[in-house]
A and B are shown apart, each in its own frame.
Chain A
């Protein structure tokens, strides 16, 4: 069976029926990785022992005829900013070269408890900072759909691994768009859960009020299935919500008739690629045909989302990355004669240019004399941006918007001008700041064969409705 046709249910039921084994599944995917990943560079480390030990457990259950858990035998990859005990965790950085965390992230624990086979750690932009996976200290990742182009970032490895069929599902993280954008560029599904829906325990922090963990899959049903496993309160993450978790998979096939779809006018202005615009208009036509009510809405503060994001995210990052100082783990400059020299030289050697830029920007915004003008101001604008969404969601149930202004760009095309790279996030950061949920669903290709994604944005904790519409959009692609 060709690995591209696997879904979560097809893997699990084939194992339950004795048509294959979890071990065979794992070996098939490792074989594929060995054959093709030197080109793509999505995996940084493989966890064969752990994967095969888990596969053995699943196979023993299947042999006894026991009911298999929902992700039984499903090969999954984990972005390298999430901890797997004993496996390397680099966060795409030299400063954590050789580091092996002493504990599992909650999302990792949950996936494994649901039967998933964890294949290894996936490449990403350093400390999740980037929109192209060109900022990794371990080499860039290529887009499997177009090998001269970026897969997007920061979860480039996670998106590419699913697109290239190295895994059936992967975990990524999204702080300003880092799940949704690579999902769009690589032609796969990527989910941004509501802030607080999924635990951040075991996630190497970039911006603590923005970071979210979410799945990449090849279809919406698989995304809903994985999200169901990941969601829920975790007492190891005080920002995780105690809101009850909906049944996402059951919600999928409820008809979308009567749902109100909002089209935010600020997201369809100048700068949006015409082929992307066309593809999204086709999606909207399809939703109208399915008897949704489609109406324009306004998110008036949208243009301030990028500057707001780049103050808040970098300020939080400058604080979070202060722990990388050579003292307790990771890289240490061996030549330094004094402690402060050690801090400076370790960090200078260990961090790449983009990380340094963001740390400096964040430090600047928080420093005495600038705090009110930058950081406090940005927090106030964050309130305005969030209120925009709350007001829109009084009128509509789900928003439909582009994910990115362009399809996947070429390697090296945006690396000279950091501000140009930041502007790639223009349609994703507002939802990040507001804490609402989002998803990128493939909705066609450009004439040149590059994937196009459509973004759905849902109310806080209303992933169920968002996924329902996503399922409808996906069905129309077939």
Chain B
């Protein structure tokens, strides 16, 4: 079958920290196993020679369609109605009721 990549629990923790996820001790070994299997499968890509192949981020690039040299397909830079601020703030878990979202303190001791 496919090879397993050597993902350690340390790798899982490092990546979880980057992703702002806090896994429980029960979740970690499962995630290690799954990531190893999936990354092992993904390593097949190394079989291909991609020496002079341009990376493709957007379908439009390869079609020569959406080329934003002169901004032709961007909308005009004019002020238009946007979302209603009060409606947006109403969704906030905690706010000052007007403009600011409230969060726990940023600076940790």
B58 to chain A, nearest CB (A): 6
Q: Say if the beta carbon of A394 comes within 8 Å of chain B.
A: no
0/1 interface trace, chain B 28-57, chain A, CB 8 Å (1 if under): 001100110111011111111010011111
- Specify which chain A residues have a CB less than 8 angstroms from the CB of B19 in the assembled complex: 318, 322, 347, 359-360, 363
B54 to chain A, nearest CB (A): 6
Q: Say if the beta carbon of A32 comes within 8 Å of chain B.
A: no
A349 to chain B, nearest CB (A): 9
Contact A357 B55 (CB under 8 A): no
Smallest Cβ-Cβ distance to A420: which chain B residue: B37
- The tally of residues in B whose CB lies under 8 Å from a CB in A reads 59
Q: Say if the beta carbon of B87 comes within 8 Å of chain A.
A: yes
Known A196-B66, A379-B56: A337·B104 in contact at CB below 8 Å:
yes
- Specify which chain B residues have a CB less than 8 angstroms from the CB of A359 in the assembled complex: 19, 21
Please pick, from B16, B41, B42, the residue contacting A360 in the complex, using a CB distance under 8 A.
B16
Contact B105 A339 (CB under 8 A): yes
Instruction: Select the stretch in A41-49, A142-150, A218-226, A303-311 that faces chain B.
Output: A303-311
Q: Say if the beta carbon of A382 comes within 8 Å of chain B.
A: yes
Contact A377 B46 (CB under 8 A): yes
- Specify which chain A residues have a CB less than 8 angstroms from the CB of B56 in the assembled complex: 379-380, 382-383, 386
B41 to chain A, nearest CB (A): 6
Main secondary structure of the interface of A (DSSP, over half): helix
Q: Say if the beta carbon of A364 comes within 8 Å of chain B.
A: yes
In whole angstroms, what is the CA distance A238 to B83 when docked?
18
Interface residues on A, range: 35 or more
**Which residue numbers of B lie inside 8 Å of A, CB to CB?**
2, 11-12, 14-16, 18-24, 27, 30-31, 34-35, 37-39, 41-48, 50, 53-60, 62-63, 65-66, 73-75, 83-84, 87-88, 91-94, 101, 103-106, 108
A-B contact pairs, 27 of them (CB 8 A): A99-B91, A102-B84, A103-B83, A196-B59, A241-B66, A242-B73, A306-B41, A322-B19, A326-B103, A332-B94, A338-B104, A338-B105, A339-B105, A340-B108, A342-B104, A357-B35, A359-B19, A364-B15, A367-B14, A379-B55, A379-B56, A380-B53, A380-B54, A381-B50, A384-B48, A386-B59, A419-B2
* New contact pairs (11) apart from A383-B53, A418-B34, CB-CB < 8 Å: A236-B75, A301-B48, A307-B42, A327-B92, A327-B101, A338-B105, A339-B103, A359-B19, A361-B39, A383-B56, A387-B62
**Which residue numbers of A lie inside 8 Å of B, CB to CB?**
99-100, 102-103, 195-196, 209, 233, 235-236, 238-239, 241-243, 301, 303-304, 306-308, 310-311, 318, 322, 325-332, 336-345, 347-348, 351, 353, 356-357, 359-361, 363-364, 367, 373-374, 376-384, 386-387, 390, 418-419, 422, 434-435, 460
